[in-house]
Chains A and B, each alone.
Chain A
Amino acid sequence: EIVMTQSPATMSVSPGEGATVSCRASQSVSSSLAWYQQKPGQAPRLLIYGASTRATGIPARFSGSGSGTEFTLTISSLQSEDFAVYYCQQYDYWPPLTFGGGTKVEIK
């Protein structure tokens, strides 16, 4: 099983600032990496797939990078609606499909 590790677990950011969330895989997943956003009481929403391709309707302030075992989600200028929990997920080698533990981005 591929283990996905996210850091940090929680980060405090002021609106308008940028934020970077990291995700590490226990073995290479090539570019088979997705990012999701989840707000309280809501289902997750796909942000990024293929490590760097934005999903339909996702604003350009969200970007993904990386390959192999190291990945990054960057939010260039946080808006109020961006405060949420973010998860990475690998789909290179499965079953099982595996998620990181999540990073909570909270208002500073």
Chain B
Amino acid sequence: QVQLAESGGGVVQPGRSLRLSCVASGFTFNNYGIHWVRQAPGKGLEWVAVIWYDGTNKIYADSVKGRFTISRDNSKNTVYLEMNSLRAEDTAVYYCARAGVAAAVQVGYFEYWGQGTLVTVSS
């Protein structure tokens, strides 16, 4: 079955960096785009970034553009989210989610989700 597992969350001071990982299994990883979606405590869902199945295209939300970098290693079935210059407003549970359609990342719904990893930005 399809599984996504995030790791790398924790408590970090404002201005510092953190790298999240998302390990996938149960499907042909290099056929699917992978998104990151976050949820601040008690709030709704916010899309963060997406990487194409072959890594050729990456798109970011304005709120993280220039600070966050998404990448993937298809040999390890893993997607990363490098987060720099972290702010208090980046505090959230970060989910990775698989795109719904193989090789069609433009069809932007999220078919499978990981359980999330909590990032807390606080001094």
Where the two chains meet, the residues of A that have a C-beta atom closer than 8 Å to any C-beta of B are: 32, 34, 36, 42-46, 49, 55, 87, 89, 91, 94-102
Known: A49-B100, A91-B107, A91-B108. A99 touches B47 (CB 8 A): yes
Known: A49-B100, A95-B61. A101 touches B44 (CB 8 A): yes
Whether A43 pairs with B95 at a CB distance below 8 angstroms is yes
Cβ-Cβ contact count across A and B, 8 Å cutoff: 58
Where the two chains meet, the residues of B that have a C-beta atom closer than 8 Å to any C-beta of A are: 35, 44-47, 50, 59-62, 95, 100, 107-116
Contacts of B115 in A (CB 8 A): 42-43
Cβ-defined partner of A44 (8 Å) among B45, B50, B100:
B45
Determine the distance from Cα of A32 to Cα of B86 in the docked complex, in whole angstroms: 33
Contacts of B109 in A (CB 8 A): 32, 34, 46, 49, 89, 91
Determine the distance from Cα of A89 to Cα of B108 in the docked complex, in whole angstroms: 9
Residue of B nearest to A93 (CB): B108
- Min CB distance A66 to B, Å, is 15
Residue of B nearest to A49 (CB): B109
Whether B114 pairs with A43 at a CB distance below 8 angstroms is yes
* Given A95-B61, A97-B50: 17 more A-B contacts, CB < 8 Å: A32-B107, A32-B109, A36-B110, A46-B100, A46-B109, A46-B110, A89-B45, A89-B110, A91-B108, A94-B47, A94-B108, A95-B59, A95-B60, A97-B108, A99-B45, A99-B46, A102-B45
Cβ-defined partner of B113 (8 Å) among A45, A91, A100:
A45
- Min CB distance A10 to B, Å, is 13
Residue of B nearest to A34 (CB): B109
Contacts of B110 in A (CB 8 A): 34, 36, 44, 46, 89
